[in-house]
């Protein structure tokens, strides 16, 4: 695809007279015109509730929604579209697994293994179950290279009390990609059910759930150029069939009587109420957009840009970069601090110059506590960013250091 950047209308605007430089892609990506058009077209021509009623608008809206499900299934190579559950986001997908799978299959004394890098969304649902069911949580730490300690992971997963591994495929704070193949192999070897949080990697790396052989995989549409409010839970069909419905009403219903009810078949069993129809349709448009570019082009662009950013920042002696800087295992996401300057001040000043970054703990307070730092500044790149934008960032970081020196 030629001129990828031109596909994103928001990037044409100015902030305080400065060209908008958007380096907050780990929080949410910007939306290409084809996604905006898909959302607008649905509301302009096809808006209707799905699966309910016998009229042409219902039929068209239902077809578009289910085509989106098929598109997602193909995108991650699921065996069946019935294994794709639409949710609001990654957070809701993890909570669905915790509340349905967790409550049914976990009991007091069982252990769930996580990593120290996890997003709060992959910690709090399990802490809630810990309070409710008295399960245990164990966390894989980082090694001296700033990567997950696989030897520790092996020891933890060898424990027969471990019933679930719930792990992110890449850190939303440090940008490091975990050896997910190794971790999943260890889980399977020990008959441990696995959940992969792919929220950060979904727009950067091709994912094949059959090759991974994970039991669950979750992600959000808004981090891969799609709309907000649409997420995905992939689950193996046999596991999903064994899990109880989480919420009640709408399409999850089979039949309802005064003293009992039955549930619908997959995937509708887990989609209570009116879903985010247009979100699913926008997600399909985002998937089509990614596939039109090709994963090869995406990887080449992002690796080159990440290497450039790392090289530039590494030359600044007042910059501290956190985590591994090994490009082989890295997304275009970097967490750093300027010596003597709080991350919030860095983000605030850059924002005045039209450069959008993120500052704080990035929903990873336990990781920041582990690293013994209160906050970090985070730069996260995407396929529409440029080396010229990185140069502008470096120039402004130098000015900030001099100002606070």
278 lies in the same domain as 330:
no
The predicted pLDDT at position 2 comes to 67
232 lies in the same domain as 257:
yes
Give yes or no for a contact between 313 and 321, defined as CB atoms under 8 angstroms apart.
yes
317/351 Cα distance (integer angstroms): 23
Query: Which helix (H) or strand (E) is 286 found in, with range?
Result: helix 277-293
138 lies in the same domain as 258:
yes
Torsion of CA 168, 135, 120, 239, to 10 degrees: 50
Last residue of a domain, one of 257, 276, 291: 291
Looking at the structure of the chain, the number of domains it has is 2
The yes-or-no answer on residue 363 being catalytic is yes
Last residue of a domain, one of 273, 291, 309: 291
360/378 Cα distance (integer angstroms): 8
207 lies in the same domain as 271:
yes
Half-sphere exposure of 131 (CA within 13 A, CB side): 6
Residue entry with tokens 């502008």: 392
> Biggest alpha carbon distance in the chain?
72
Domain span at 329: 4-28+294-404
Catalytic option among 124, 293, 316, 363: 363
24 lies in the same domain as 48:
no
284 lies in the same domain as 298:
no
The predicted pLDDT at position 1 comes to 57
CATH number at residue 312: 3.90.1150.10
247 lies in the same domain as 388:
no
Last residue of a domain, one of 291, 325, 344: 291
The pLDDT tens digits along the chain (405 residues) read 569 999 999 999 999 999 999 999 999 999 999 999 999 999 999 999 999 788 999 999 999 999 999 999 999 999 999 999 999 999 999 999 999 999 999 999 999 999 999 999 999 999 999 999 999 999 999 998 888 999 999 999 999 999 999 999 999 999 999 999 999 999 999 999 999 999 999 999 999 999 999 999 999 999 999 999 999 999 999 999 999 999 999 999 999 999 999 999 999 999 999 999 999 999 999 999 999 999 999 999 999 999 999 999 999 999 999 988 888 889 999 999 999 999 999 999 999 999 999 999 999 999 999 999 999 999 999 999 999 999 999 999 999 999 998
CA-wise closest residue to 242 among 193, 208, 183: 193
């Amino acid at each position: 695809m030629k001129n990828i950047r031109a596909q994103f209308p928001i990037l044409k605007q100015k902030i305080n007279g400065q060209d908008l430089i958007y380096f907050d892609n780990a929080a949410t990506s910007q939306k290409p015109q084809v996604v905006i058009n898909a959302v607008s077209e649905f509301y302009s021509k096809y808006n209707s509730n799905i699966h309910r009623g016998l009229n042409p608008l219902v039929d068209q809206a239902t077809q578009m929604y289910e085509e989106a499900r098929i598109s997602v299934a193909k995108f991650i190579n699921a065996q069946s579209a019935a294994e794709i559950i639409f949710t609001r986001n990654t957070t809701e997908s993890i909570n669905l697994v915790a509340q349905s799978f967790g409550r049914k299959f976990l009991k007091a004394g069982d252990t769930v293994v996580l990593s120290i890098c996890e997003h709060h969304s992959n910690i709090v649902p399990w802490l809630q179950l810990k309070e409710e069911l008295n399960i245990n949580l164990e966390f894989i730490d980082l090694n001296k290279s700033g990567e997950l300690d696989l030897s520790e992971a092996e020891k933890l997963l060898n424990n027969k009390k471990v019933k679930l591994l719930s792990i992110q495929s890449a850190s939303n704070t440090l940008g490091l990609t975990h050896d997910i193949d190794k971790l999943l192999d260890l889980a399977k070897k020990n008959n441990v059910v696995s959940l992969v949080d792919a929220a950060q990697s979904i727009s950067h790396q091709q994912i094949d759930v059959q090759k991974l052989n994970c039991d669950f995989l979750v992600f959000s549409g808004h981090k891969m150029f799609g709309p907000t409010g649409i997420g995905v839970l992939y689950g193996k069909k046999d596991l999903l069939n064994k899990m109880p419905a989480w919420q009640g009403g709408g399409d999850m219903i089979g039949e309802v009587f005064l003293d009992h009810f039955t549930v619908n078949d997959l995937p509708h069993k887990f989609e209570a109420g009116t879903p985010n129809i247009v979100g699913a349709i926008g997600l399909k448009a985002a998937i089509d957009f990614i596939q039109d570019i090709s994963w090869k082009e995406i990887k080449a662009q992002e690796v080159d840009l990440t290497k450039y950013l790392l090289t530039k920042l590494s030359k600044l002696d007042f910059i501290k970069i956190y985590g591994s800087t090994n490009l082989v295992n890295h997304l275009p996401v970097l967490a750093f601090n300027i010596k003597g300057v709080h991350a919030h001040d860095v983000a605030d000043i850059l924002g005045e110059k039209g450069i959008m970054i993120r500052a704080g703990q990035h929903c990873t307070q336990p990781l920041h506590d582990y690293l013994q730092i209160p906050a970090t500044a985070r730069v996260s790149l995407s396929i529409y960013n440029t080396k010229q934008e990185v140069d502008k960032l470096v120039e402004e970081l130098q000015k900030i250091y001099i100002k606070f020196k």
